[in-house]
Amino acid sequence: MIPFQLHRICTIMKPEEGNELEVEGVLNPAVTRGPDGNLYLFPRLVAKNNYSRIGIAKVIFNKEGDPVDVERLGVVLEPETDYEKRPNGGGGCEDPRITYVEPVEHYIMTYTAYGPNGPRIAMARSKDLFTWERMGLICYTLYKPVDFNNVNDKDASFFPVELPSPHNHQSIAMLHRPLFPDTIPEATVKLDKDRNIDKHKESIWISYFNLKEGKQTSLENAKFTSHYRLASPENPWENLKIGAGAPPVLTKHGWMLVYHGVHKREGYTKENPKYCYSAGVMILSEKEPQKILYRSAHPILTPELPSETIGTVGDVVFPTGTDRRDDIGQPNRIDVYYGMADDRIGVAKMIIPESLPEN
């Protein structure tokens, strides 16, 4: 049995017939509990020409406590600012993640703003999940010769509590995946089969905002000053690319990160490229999250259902949100919400094992 293996519950959301905001898919949702205790999804809603907004929906559970449906409640963000709009009339607020960040006493949404310079990470904040205030693009200090501000960036999420940085400064920590040139699957697949992974460029990174140095805890105008490589492609199922998935959730073993990895699908040709996006798990140290205690040697979920293998982009399961089931007295159960073939949203569940498996 594969440790942390996910077991599918259902397809919880698919494009609504006749809804122009969803004609090209609903996918990759943020997931969080609201102040009222309800669980809310924030799906990426894709209209014609890949124009993306971020919606809100309340999750409906059956009497056994399993999620089975959603109630749509509207749109919380759509492209409005310069960094969310493209000169050709397109734009995007894409692939959100949401964490209640205790030091700032707000829900913080990170999302991909698809503007004129390509994808960048933007932030918004809320007290109630229904009204959101934009906070602009994430800002970084230089890392040696690298300026993350000028690199495409995606898949960002915050840890919910303040943590010590490697320099022992109390900080807010953020995961993200810079997309350096030639590190997308379409580029890495062209390299030699036995290529050396460029750990500098092909990694999930963790960056820290020093709370003391910032002299405030709003995250407004915050600049992330410490940057560390967390993980690079390592196993066959993820050898083309990895990316941070759902925001970290604390378990008895440490911070659990459900992430995605990409490999070349059987039957791949240059004329007919086929990629497979699967899900895996990392466990990070509770006090030193840049340290990996466990990592999946094999995927915990891989595309198998027709709704995962056929869609806008086939062969994709893309985890972006989790719900620890404290509400039903099962803190060791984690529900994972994920995009299915860039078209709809699924949910699966796992049980945290009693002991951490050996790598």
Task: Note down the domain range covering 180.
Answer: 7-351
Question: Distances in Å between the alpha carbon of 262 and those of 79, 234, 265, 275, 316?
Answer: 29, 11, 9, 7, 9
* Helix H or strand E encompassing 70: strand 67-77
pLDDT, residue 134, reads 96
* Percent of all residues in the chain with a pLDDT value above 70, rounded to a whole number: 94
pLDDT, residue 214, reads 55
Question: Distances in Å between the alpha carbon of 52 and those of 20, 93, 136, 166, 248?
Answer: 11, 5, 18, 37, 25
pLDDT surpasses 90 at 319: yes
pLDDT surpasses 80 at 218: no
The string of pLDDT tens digits covering residues 48-94 is 999 999 999 999 999 999 999 999 999 999 999 999 998 888 889 99
pLDDT, residue 163, reads 96
Confidence of residue 344 (pLDDT cuts 50, 70, 90): very high
Q: In whole numbers, what is the pLDDT of the chain averaged over residues?
A: 92
pLDDT, residue 17, reads 96
Number of domains into which the chain is organized: 1
357 domain residue, yes or no: no
**Mean pLDDT across the stretch 227-235?**
94
* Percent of all residues in the chain with a pLDDT value above 90, rounded to a whole number: 79
102: how many CB neighbours lie within 10 A of its CB?
13
Confidence of residue 266 (pLDDT cuts 50, 70, 90): confident
**Mean pLDDT across the stretch 178-204?**
73
36 domain residue, yes or no: yes
With beta carbons less than 8 A apart as the criterion, state whether 225 and 142 touch: no
Residue burial 165-195, b: 16+ Cβ < 10 Å; e: rest? beeebebbbbbbbbbbeebebeebbeeeeee
1 domain residue, yes or no: no
Residue 306 DSSP label: H
List the structure tokens of 117. Answer: 């310079």
Within the chain, residue ranges assigned H as helices are 185-188, 211-214, 306-309
With beta carbons less than 8 A apart as the criterion, state whether 231 and 204 touch: yes
With beta carbons less than 8 A apart as the criterion, state whether 138 and 121 touch: yes
With beta carbons less than 8 A apart as the criterion, state whether 39 and 65 touch: no
77 vs 111: CA distance, rounded Å: 10
282 domain residue, yes or no: yes
84 domain residue, yes or no: yes
356 domain residue, yes or no: no
pLDDT, residue 353, reads 94
**Mean pLDDT across the stretch 301-317?**
96
Residue 143 DSSP label: B
How many Å from the N-terminal Cα to the C-terminal Cα in the chain?
Answer: 14
What is the value of pTM for the model shown? 0.95
359 domain residue, yes or no: no
358 domain residue, yes or no: no
Helix, strand, or coil here: 124? Answer: strand
CATH number at residue 92: 2.115.10.20
pLDDT surpasses 80 at 184: no
List the structure tokens of 305. Answer: 């259902």
Confidence of residue 197 (pLDDT cuts 50, 70, 90): low
List the structure tokens of 334. Answer: 């984690």
pLDDT, residue 216, reads 57
Question: Distances in Å between the alpha carbon of 219 and those of 32, 133, 171, 196, 223?
Answer: 20, 12, 11, 37, 8
